[in-house]
């Protein structure tokens, strides 16, 4: 029996897919994470934007073309939000964000389990990738006004530290890089009497390097910095969600910091990690964003000097606090996305070019016989002439020059 487990969403979804594949292998299934011919397909959906939700539905059509008789199981945020949209011929089971491991017990119908109050354990995930993603937390209490995720994933709940450490130790046998992920990673441990700084300290003797997933800037304080500085294996790459550089828009988004506070936290990090990559997400076209507040964001982004930015056009989600505010004209949003993306490309190039002639440690992910590719500790895509490097292992390289999408090394 072959089962394909398809992820449409974030790294947390990816970790859940890995855990499901691990459980399926234990049940004797042949598994794949690609859209290949299979008897069963489990689709872990995403609702973070309208586009993600559309892709989640679209993949069902693709699956039915590959195998019209396949059993399709739909789980995740988009089905939690609106299960009916997946009640399509061929879909056997629709569930939400809870009890994802029940897919093989429920062979038909729609079943949305109540969102749990405590962390719901899936099997300890096997690492199927060059870099391992380890999920440590689920849910979010922040209720940013544009975001539907707290309604779909429930409140913050953390995985037990011992469980995290066990999965990280197992992953470190297969890869030199582990990425810690959560829906709100910064809130890790607060519900179980610990915190992210303590977890970083507990993982600091691991032989794999640790990359932190997306962080809320408020997590950065003296204890957090101390844990980072004392760690032997933390990557100098910090992804700090910004969303806007305007205090007015940040307040309307229900983000809990000002642009000045954000800049102060970046300065703290750079005191100890002067060449660290600082990456971020920015939402363009929030309904209260004006040309002036968008320009504030552009100025702020330049002032911080981000090494990369995920630029998201605002996606209006029913049920969120911002939904009644409507949406800006599409062409206004598209033009701002274009301007911010151009600035992102300029800053990225500026940051990366400073590493020409430097040595970087690259975890190799893919090879095509000519070049091997992977990410450096500071999250730069690096290309190295292929010498049969093993995937998931660090190689030390000297950077020789730039490419459109990264750097080239010897």
Binding site for ligand SF4 (CB under 6 A): 140, 142-144, 147, 149-150, 183-184
Nearest approach in angstroms of CB 183 to ligand SF4 is 5
Q: Among residues 353, 354, 339, 352, which one has the least CA distance to residue 301?
A: 339
- Min dist CB 254 to ligand SF4, Å, is 8
Q: Give all strands of the β-sheet with 91-94 in edge-to-edge order.
A: 30-32, 2-7, 40-45, 71-76, 91-94, 109-110
Among residues 163, 170, 173, 179, which one has the least CA distance to residue 215?
179
Tell me how far apart the alpha carbons of residues 28 and 24 are, in angstroms, rounded to a whole number. 6
Looking at beta carbons only, is 183 or 363 nearer to ligand SF4? 183
Closest contact distance (angstroms) between CB of 194 and ligand SF4 is: 20
Q: Tell me phi and psi for residue 25, to 5 degrees.
A: -60, -40
> Cα separation of 401 and 410, whole Å?
9
Cβ 184 to ligand SF4 shortest distance, Å: 5
Q: How far apart are CB 185 and ligand SF4 at their closest, in Å? A: 10
Residue 367, beta-bridge partner list:
372
Shortest Cβ 373–ligand SF4 spacing (Å)? 29
Nearer to ligand SF4, 7 or 320 (CB): 320
Helix, strand, coil: what percent of the chain each, to 5? 35, 25, 40
Between CA 364 and CA 386 the distance in angstroms is 10
Question: Both ends of the chain: CA-CA distance in Å?
Answer: 44
- Complex with ligand SF4: residue 126 or 145, whichever CB lies closer: 145
Is the Cβ of residue 67 or residue 241 nearer to ligand SF4 in the bound state?
241
Q: How far is the CB of 149 from ligand SF4 (least distance, A)?
A: 4
Residue the block writes with tokens 């964001």: 297
What residue has token string 């029913």?
Answer: 318
Closest to ligand SF4 by CB, 128 vs 133, is: 133
Distance CA 187, CA 12 (A): 14
Distance CA(361)–CA(378), nearest Å, equals 9
Tell me whether residue 231 or residue 243 sits nearer to ligand SF4 (CB atom): 243
| Structure-block tokens of residue 316 | 């209006």
Residues ≥6 apart with Cβ < 8 Å to 334: 313
* Residue among 128 and 188 whose Cβ is closer to ligand SF4: 188
Closest separation in Å from C-beta 218 to ligand SF4:
10
Residue 295 contacts residue 287 (beta carbons within 8 Å)? no
Residue closer to ligand SF4 (CB basis): 79 or 184: 184
DSSP 126: P
Q: With respect to ligand SF4, which residue has the nearer C-beta, 53 or 361? A: 53
CB of 253 to ligand SF4, least distance (A): 8
Within 10 Å of residue 121's Cβ, how many Cβ atoms?
Answer: 11
């Amino acid at each position: 029996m072959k089962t394909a487990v398809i992820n449409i969403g974030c790294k947390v979804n990816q970790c859940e897919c890995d855990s499901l594949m691990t459980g399926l292998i234990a049940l004797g299934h042949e598994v794949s994470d690609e859209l290949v011919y299979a008897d069963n397909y489990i689709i872990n959906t995403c609702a973070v934007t309208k586009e993600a939700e559309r892709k989640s539905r679209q993949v069902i059509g693709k699956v039915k073309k590959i195998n019209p008789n396949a059993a399709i199981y739909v789980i995740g945020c988009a089905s939690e939000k609106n299960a009916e949209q997946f009640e399509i011929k061929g879909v056997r089971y629709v569930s939400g964000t809870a009890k994802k491991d029940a897919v093989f017990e429920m062979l038909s119908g729609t079943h949305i389990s109540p969102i749990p109050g405590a962390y719901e354990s899936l099997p300890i995930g096997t690492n199927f990738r060059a870099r391992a993603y380890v999920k440590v937390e689920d849910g979010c209490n922040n209720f940013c006004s544009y975001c539907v995720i707290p309604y779909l994933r429930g409140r913050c709940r953390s995985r037990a530290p011992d469980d995290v450490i066990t999965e990280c130790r197992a992953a470190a046998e297969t890869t030199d890089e582990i990425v810690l992920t959560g829906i709100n990673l910064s809130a890790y441990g607060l519900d179980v009497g610990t915190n992210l700084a303590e977890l970083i300290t507990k993982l600091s003797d691991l032989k794999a390097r640790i990359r932190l997933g997306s962080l809320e800037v408020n997590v950065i304080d003296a204890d957090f910095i101390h844990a980072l500085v004392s760690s032997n294996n933390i990557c100098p790459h910090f992804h700090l969600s910004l969303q806007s550089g305007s205090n007015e828009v940040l307040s309307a988004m229900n983000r809990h910091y000002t642009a000045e506070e954000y800049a102060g936290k970046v300065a703290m990090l750079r005191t100890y990690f002067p060449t660290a990559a600082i990456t971020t997400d920015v939402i363009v076209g929030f309904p209260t964003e004006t040309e002036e507040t968008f320009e504030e964001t552009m100025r702020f982004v330049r002032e911080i000097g981000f090494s990369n930015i995920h630029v998201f056009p605002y996606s209006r989600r029913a049920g969120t606090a911002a939904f009644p505010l409507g949406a800006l004209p599409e062409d206004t949003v598209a033009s701002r996305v274009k301007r911010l993306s151009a600035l992102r490309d300029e800053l990225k190039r500026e940051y990366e070019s400073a590493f020409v002639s430097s040595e970087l440690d690259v975890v190799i992910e893919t090879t095509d016989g000519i070049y091997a590719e992977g990410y450096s500790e500071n999250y730069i895509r690096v290309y190295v002439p292929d010498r049969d490097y093993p995937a998931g292992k660090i190689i030390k390289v000297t950077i020789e020059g730039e490419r459109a999408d990264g750097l080239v090394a010897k």
